[in-house]
Amino acid sequence: MIDIKLIRENKELVKENIKKKFQDEKLPIVDEIEKLDIEYRDCKKKGDDLRALKNSKSSEIGALMREGKKDQAEKVKEEISQYSNELEELKEREEVLSHEIKIKMMNIPNIIDDSVPIGKDDTFNVEVEKFGEPIVPDYEIPYHADILENLNGLDKESAGRTSGEGFYYLMGDIARLHEAMLAYARDFMIDKGFIYAIPPFMIHSSVVEGVMSFPEMQAMMYKIEGEDLFLIGTSEHSMIGRFKDQMVKESSLPITMTSYSPCFRKEGGSHGLEERGLYRVHQFEKQEMIVLCKPEDSMEWYNKMWKYTVEIFRNMDIPVRQLECCSGDLADLKVKSCDIEAWSPRQKKYFEVGSCSTLGDAQSRRLGIRAKGENGTYYVHTLNNTVVASPRGLIALIENNYEKDGSIKIPKVLRPYMGGKEKIDVK
């Protein structure tokens, strides 16, 4: 959510930003907010003036009574009573206007960074840099589900009976490899100075509304029936929510944390679920990183964070690239975002395995996360980035380490988590 001062002082900037995001249907909302805000401030001024007048009149009553002017004192009391009624009406109107403004403000996209490429959808995303040589071996690489099943590592048929489409069992060494990858990512981030956390896997609606836009929430989140609780789609939600309504000590900034969680997503709409494979599923696991920092430090942290993900994947012998997200592909709360995509030697193309975003003060403004500095109180900036998400990370790992005989070579960094095992053989 942007600062309403932007609409008061630079309405055209807000509208131009909406156009850059190809959301022209939201342009009238800016004018609606401006009109409501004028009325709100007018109500507030009238209320302040009436309160001052009421206080002034109240001080007259005692003097009039002491002078024996009871009739005049009674008239003043009647005036004060009328002021109280008017103040109550103004207060009610202020509350209505404040709520309407907030709802409309939450539909206005954040101001994107000047460096963000302009484009309508993800087809306009821009490749920035490649890391590692994308290799296509001289032998066929089967579909990932077939590789896993051949290694007795995947059972989607049983998951279909227990849970339905979009779920899976990982078995044996493949399940262990999956966890090894997450454990390595966890320890990598701890070594970078991030505090490790395991957060709640369910959060209140007030937190959901604070960390993401309405369209995202409706498309992603599972609601617990009869409870004010949602299953998290990523641990970023509960990690940022941890600081809701808090005044953070400026001396504690930056706050750098890495968190593990299962994640739950509807994965509906045009993308749909993947019937045989694991690319789009309802449940997966992820190691995440978040940062809360001073506004002037957010872009520096953004560049550090996505590079950590690149380093992790390169350490697992997986070529990756950084893809800059264009304006139309950015969620409304984001200032700037990039995807990290891993090379698929089977498909001979890259696919998304993580995303890094800086959201400016949009989340902290919604959630009330502030810090107090030399120049006063301010909203902190929040950032998040995927360290490793599986099974997408697992797909990249097995494809890029698949051997001609059907075995999987285990990258050196993961072997300590696999009991020293160097490969997973076909049995």
DSSP 136: -
Mean pLDDT taken over the chain: 93
Three-state SS at 287: strand
Give the amino acid at 81: S
**Whole-number CA gyration radius for the chain:** 28
The reported pLDDT for the residue numbered 53 is 79
Task: Tell me: pLDDT of 319 over 70.
Answer: yes
Higher pLDDT, 375 or 230: 230
The reported pLDDT for the residue numbered 272 is 56
Three-state SS at 188: helix
Measure the CA–CA gap between 96 and 92, rounded to whole angstroms. Answer: 6
CATH fold label, 122-424: BirA Bifunctional Protein; domain 2 (3.30.930)
CATH number, domain 4-105: 1.10.287.40
Give me the residue label for tokens 């942290």: 301
Closest C-alpha to 140, from 347, 401, 348, 346: 346
Do residues 4 and 38 touch, judged by C-beta distance below 8 A?
no
Q: How confident is the model at residue 270 (pLDDT cuts 50, 70, 90)?
A: very low
Give the Cα-Cα-Cα angle 118, 123, 129 (nearest 5 degrees).
Answer: 80
Measure the CA–CA gap between 402 and 393, rounded to whole angstroms. Answer: 14
390: left (phi over 0), alpha (psi -120 to 50) or beta: beta
Report percent pLDDT > 70 for the chain: 96
Closest C-alpha to 57, from 72, 75, 76: 76
Measure the CA–CA gap between 367 and 149, rounded to whole angstroms. Answer: 45
Give the Cα-Cα-Cα angle 115, 117, 122 (nearest 5 degrees).
Answer: 140
Task: Tell me: pLDDT of 345 over 80.
Answer: yes
- As a whole number of angstroms, the longest Cα–Cα distance in the chain is 108
Task: Tell me: pLDDT of 302 over 60.
Answer: yes
Do residues 175 and 151 touch, judged by C-beta distance below 8 A?
no
Measure the CA–CA gap between 25 and 29, rounded to whole angstroms. Answer: 8
Instruction: Count other C-beta atoms under 10 Å from residue 98's C-beta.
Output: 15
The reported pLDDT for the residue numbered 185 is 98
Task: Tell me: pLDDT of 385 over 70.
Answer: yes
Judging by beta carbons within 10 Å of its beta carbon (0-12, 13-18, 19+), is residue 77 exposed, middle or buried?
A: middle
Give the amino acid at 11: K
pLDDT digit string, tens, across residues 15-51: 999 999 999 999 999 999 999 999 999 999 998 888 8
Task: Tell me: pLDDT of 288 over 60.
Answer: yes
pLDDT digit string, tens, across residues 149-167: 999 999 999 999 999 999 9
pLDDT digit string, tens, across residues 103-127: 999 999 999 999 999 999 999 999 9
Q: Where are the domains of the chain?
A: 4-105, 122-424
Task: Tell me: pLDDT of 268 over 60.
Answer: no
424 strand-pairing partners: 408
pLDDT digit string, tens, across residues 48-94: 888 887 777 776 676 666 667 777 776 777 778 787 888 889 999 99
Closest C-alpha to 331, from 411, 222, 215: 215
Q: What are phi and psi of 63, to 5 degrees?
A: -65, -40
pLDDT digit string, tens, across residues 174-232: 999 999 999 999 999 999 999 999 999 999 999 999 998 767 777 788 999 999 999 99
Secondary structure of 219-286 as H, E, C letters? HHCEECCCCCCEECCCHHHHHHHCCCCCEEEHHHCCEEEEEEEEEECCCCCCCCCCCCCCCCCCEEEE
Average pLDDT of the segment spanning 300-320: 98
